[in-house]
Structure 1
Amino acid sequence: MDMIRDLSLLHLLTNASLPVQLVMGLLLGVSLFSWWYIFLKMFAVRAAVRQTREFEDAFWSNPNLVALYQQAASQMRHNQGGLEHIFAAGFAEYVKLKKTHGVDSAALMEGTRRAMRARYQREMDRLESHLSFLATVGSVSPYVGLLGTVWGIMNAFRGLSSVGQATLAQVAPGIAEALVATAMGLFAAIPAVVAYNRYARDIDRLATRFESFIEEFSNVLQRQP
């Protein structure tokens, strides 16, 4: 019973050596931050996918580009979708260049594409924010936990050096304390890796849809009188 009590999780955490406790505290804080960013990114990506789908439906169902642009410009919402921002930036540049004397059709379309590409890059930067943090947590956390494990095992063996005969009851608490650090490292890393892979794939799909829209919208503008 004493050994079972000594191997309880709370006992292992409170009685771990100071370096191992620091590692565990660091991993706990990193894990909480990663979960916060996971939920933030989940809502952001879902909203981006929904807004992209809604604007695509509105764009292809409304041939009046001026009315569509006026509707997008009059709303001025911060939660507008990335595709709507790309459309507004491209159409505004198209109208401005078209009113400029001496601009041929090639320069007109090139300027429009540059405006849409610049807005596209800003939208991608916004969507990809915090992904690097999740990638870092997923790749570094297991090694941080392993550092705590190595230190805990070393500390356990140093304690055994002063004992004449080692028993399971003497070895188990130190080894268990060390392995808890590895478990916490994996607990922080696995959700971060899964979330990063999922969101990176969803953002890549959005990027493909944005790029396709830029080309399709460019073709539509080229056919304008």
Structure 2
Amino acid sequence: MMIATIPALLAVVTEALPQDVSQAANAAAPAAHNSINYLKLLANASLPVQLIVLLLLLGSLISWVIIFRKARVFSRANRDADDFENRFWSGAELNKLYASASERGRVPTGLESVFEAGFREFARLRDKRKLDGRAQLEGAQRAMRVAYSREVDRLERNLELLANIGSTAPYVGLVGTVFGIMVTMHDMLSSGQAAGIASVAPGISEALFATAIGLFVAIPAVWAYNRFTTRVERLAVRFEAFAEEFSSILQRQASADE
């Protein structure tokens, strides 16, 4: 009984509304089902808006290429670090570990690079009988710091570009929105159309499309930059901790040689 009376109540409310409000409400119902054709929206946009959207899409492509590449780099860095630490702390001799690192046929990276640089310098200085154990240890530590800086720089490569894309994309999209609104207003004044919603809606929609694209580009770029920066910091802490532990091992070995 109550369900049957709901359509009647809606009809009464509709009749009680002003005629223009009622017509607008009725017109909004089918319009809500219309989907936006973004390609058509871009094709009908003004030239400045089209150029800015294309620039943003290019920035999006570059940022996603960087994101996928850096994801592989960090996955490999963590995997290689785990593998090397397992071999290092398994009790293998340092000479054999250094020989295996040098004979792999590729430039060592990550923890292996820090170990290889430190042990190579330590062995080179140990061959000089005039140098004491402290000088040997300091030389090895300097070499490990250089290798550490080189590895961190390699991990941070292209992150600055990713941050720039993420921070500037919304502003570039906003510039496109401003241009779109300016063109819309200029066309209205030139054609002498009345300032109604039907005359300004297409231009405003095209203008806001640039801002939407800017946010679409910026959000994943900023998220990926923050994520990768955190992973760089974690790996840097891991490299530093290994360098300190390896320095302790070299110090004991230098003391035993004296």
**Which of the five TM-score ranges fits, normalised by the shorter chain?**
over 0.9
Map of 2:164 onto structure 1: 136
Query: Equivalent pairs: percent with the same residue?
Result: 51
Map of 1:168 onto structure 2: 197
In the alignment, is residue 109 of structure 1 matched against residue 137 of structure 2? yes
In the alignment, is residue 85 of structure 1 matched against residue 104 of structure 2? no
Q: Point out 4+ residue stretches in structure 1 off by more than 3 angstroms.
A: 4-7
Map of 1:16 onto structure 2: 45
Query: How many residues are matched?
Result: 223
Code of the aligned partner of 1:211: E
Map of 2:17 onto structure 1: none
Instruction: Tell me the secondary structure at the aligned position of residue 75 of structure 1.
Output: coil
Give 1:113 deviation, angstroms: 0.5
Code of the aligned partner of 1:72: A
Correspondences of 1:195-210 after superposition (within 5 Å): 195-210=224-239
1:187 pairs with one of 216, 234, 243: 216
Instruction: Tell me the secondary structure at the aligned position of residue 135 of structure 1.
Output: helix
Give 1:15 deviation, angstroms: 1.4
2:240 pairs with one of 195, 199, 211: 211
- Is the 2:144–2:243 Cα contact (8 Å) retained in structure 1? yes
Higher relative contact order (CA 8 A, sep 6+): 1
Structure 2: segments with no counterpart, 5+ residues: 1-29
Distance 2:111 2:43 in 1: 52
In the alignment, is residue 157 of structure 1 matched against residue 180 of structure 2? no
Give 1:169 deviation, angstroms: 2.0
- TM-score, length-normalised on structure 2? 0.82
Instruction: Tell me the secondary structure at the aligned position of residue 102 of structure 1.
Output: coil
- Is the 1:145–1:183 Cα contact (8 Å) retained in structure 2? yes
In the alignment, is residue 46 of structure 1 matched against residue 103 of structure 2? no
Give 1:8 deviation, angstroms: 2.7
- Is the 1:6–1:12 Cα contact (8 Å) retained in structure 2? no
Map of 1:126 onto structure 2: 154
- Is the 2:193–2:199 Cα contact (8 Å) retained in structure 1? no
**1:53–1:202 Cα change, 3 Å:** same
- Is the 2:121–2:140 Cα contact (8 Å) retained in structure 1? yes
- Greater Rg by CA: 2
Give 1:6 deviation, angstroms: 11
- TM-score, length-normalised on structure 1? 0.94
Query: What is the root-mean-square deviation of aligned Cα atoms in Å?
Result: 1.8
Give 1:5 deviation, angstroms: 8.5
**1:185–1:36 Cα change, 3 Å:** same
